[in-house]
Amino acid sequence: MTGNILAIDQGTTSSRAIVFDGDQKIAGLGKMEFTQHFPQDGWVEHVPEEIWATVLWSVKTALKRASLQAADIAAIGITNQRETTIVWDRATGKAIHNAIVWQDRRTAKLCEKLKKAGHEPMISRKTGLLLDPYFTATKLAWILDNVPGARKRAEKGELAFGTVDSYLIWRLTGGRSHATDITNASRTLLLNIRTGQWDDELLKLFRIPRAILPEVKDNADDFGTTDPEVLGAPIPIYGAAGDQQAATIGQACFTPGMLKSTYGTGCFALLNTGKDMVRSKNRLLTTIAYRIDGETTYALEGAIFIAGAAVQWLRDMLKAFEKSSDAGALAAKADPTQNVYLVPAFVGLGAPWWDSAARGSLTGLTRNTGPAELARAALESVSYQTRDLVDAMRRDWKGASDTVLRVDGGMVASDWTMQFLADILNTPVDRPTILETTALGAAWLAGYKAGVWPDQQGFARRWALDRQFTPRMDDETRKRKLKGWRDAVRRTLSTE
C-alpha cells in the first residue's frame, strides 16, 4: 500500500490540504482563504458551503501539485477549527444556519445565567472546561432556539449537529458517516471526559436532543470512506483531531511534560499530562490530548483568542502593511523607548482571564507612535499572553517546571517574534523543520491507522529541529515589560 496520506486542515480563516509522502514530507499543498462574517458586535460566522468549497478546491489542488490521483492516497486525516458549530439537514446535507465560529460571543448572557444558577462547578467537573461562549453547547442551543422549527426537527432526528470535522466527514462520505473524534467532542461542554461519552445531565442542562449528536470515535479510527464521486476514488478517513490536539501530535509531544504552542488566528498551548487529569486552579482547561487504541491522554490547555488575527487586523483594517509576513520586519524598526501595549481582546479575553465582556485596548501611545510600534505591540502581545499561560501551567502542575516549548503555526516563521517569545518566557523555544504540524498530526493519525506510517516512538524520532531560540533579554528588562503588560491587561478587563 502507498504511504501517501492526505491531510485536510480546515482552519478559522482558510482551508488547506497537504499530501504527505511515505517519508512524511510535503508532496503537494493547496490553500484557500474564505470570508469572515461579523453580523453584530462579538458575532463571528462562516458559510458552511464556502468551507466545503474551499476544502474541495484545496484537496484537488494538493493532489494535482503532488502529481497524484485519489487512488494513490492510502488514507485521509482531518483536523479543524474546534468548537465552531454547524447544524444541517440530514436529507440534503445543507446547513440550516451559518456556522457559529469558536470566537463568537453571542451566548455570553446565557453563560452568565447558567453560572449564576450554580451550574459551572458540575460542568467543569465533567468536561474540564469553563462555562464560556467559546465552547459549543450554547452555540448549538442558540441555533435550535433561533432557527424556526429547528428544535422540533432536531428532536425528530431530521437534523445533524457537528463541529467542522463531523460536517466534512458527512460531506466526504456522501452522508453515510455522522461521526466525530474524542478531542473535538471534548470541547462541546456535552462530553464527560472521564467516561468519553455524551453526558445525559449536560444534554438536559443545555437542552440538546441526543438524536442530533455524532458518534464519538478514537483519533485514529475508521470514520468512513469517501464517496467515489467526491474525489474520484474511495479513500478511507482514518484520522481526525481538533487542530490544537493535532498540532500536539504533529509536534510528537507524546511524553508527559511536553508542551507545544500553536500560533495561528489564536494561540493555544497544550501541556501533555499523561493519564493525569489535572484540575487547574488557575482557570486553565483540562482537556483530552488524544485517545489512541482506546488509551486516553490528557492535557492542560490555555486558549488565547487573538494571536495572528491581531496582525490581520493591522493589515486589513489599519493598512499598516500589505502582507502579514511583513509584520516582523516592521516591528524590528520600532522605537525601543516607546512602551506601547496592545491587549487584543477583540472578542474578549481567554485564559487565564475568561472575560467575555473585555474589548481590545492600546496603551502607551505617544505622538510619535506609528505603524512600526503598533506592529511590535501586536507581535509582543502574543508572547505576553503565552507567558500568562505558561505561568499558570507551572502553578498547576509540577511537571511543567522546566519544559522546552515547541512552536508551530504561521507566526513562528518570524525570527523576531520567536526570539521575543523566548526572551519573555525566559525558556528555550524550539521551531521544527516542518511548520505544518497541525496537518502532520492529522496525517500521522491516518497513516498509523492505515499501517503505512510508524508508531508513536518511530514518528517522534523523525521530529527535526529547525532552530532553537534561547533567551537573551536581561531580567530587569523582562520584569519591566511584564509589569507594563499586566497593567495594560488590568486596564482592559471589564468591571461587569
| CA-closest candidate to residue 408, choices 3, 4, 11, 28 | 11
Burial grade of 303 (CB within 10 A; 0-12, 13-18, 19 or more): buried
- Residue 308 pLDDT class (50, 70, 90 cuts): confident
CA nearest to 246, candidates 10, 33, 30 = 10
**Grid cell 422540533 in the structure block, residue:** 152
The reported pLDDT for the residue numbered 334 is 86
Please choose, from the candidates 472, 372, 457, the residue with its C-alpha nearest in 3D space to the C-alpha of residue 420: 472
The per-residue pLDDT for 402 is 67
Please give the grid coordinates belonging to residue 466: 529547525
| pLDDT the model gives residue 400 | 61
Residue 148 has a pLDDT of: 94
Distance CA 323, CA 325 (A): 5
Instruction: Give the pLDDT of residue 399.
Output: 63
Q: Where are the beta strands (DSSP E) in 81-139?
A: 86-89, 99-100
pLDDT digits 0-9 by tens, 361-394: 999 999 989 888 988 898 899 899 999 888 888 8
Give which of 240, 316, 302 is closest to 270, Cα–Cα: 302
Average pLDDT over the chain, rounded to an integer: 91
pLDDT value of position 330: 84
Rounded to 5 degrees, φ, ψ at 413 are -70, -20
393 Ramachandran zone, left/alpha/beta (phi>0; psi -120 to 50): alpha
Top pLDDT among 308 and 195 is at 195
Residue 112, all three cell numbers: 452568565
At CA 79, angle to CA 87 and CA 41, rounded to 5? 50
Q: Please state, in angstroms and as integers, the Cα–Cα distance from residue 269 to each residue in 221, 304, 342, 350, 403, following that order.
A: 25, 8, 20, 12, 12
Residue 305 binned pLDDT confidence (cut-offs 50, 70, 90): confident
269, 409 Cβ separation under 8 angstroms = no
496 has pLDDT over 60: no
Q: In one letter, which amino acid is 461?
A: R
Determine the average pLDDT of the residues in 274-285.
88
Q: Which helix (H) or strand (E) holds 141?
A: helix 136-146
Identify the residue with better confidence: 45 or 23. Answer: 45
Distances (CA, A) of 56 to 88, 217, 355: 18, 24, 37
Determine which helix (DSSP H) or strand (DSSP E) holds 44, and give its type and residue range. none
218 versus 349: which is more confidently predicted? 218
What is the C-alpha R_g of the chain? Answer: 21
Nine-digit cell string for 256: 508527559
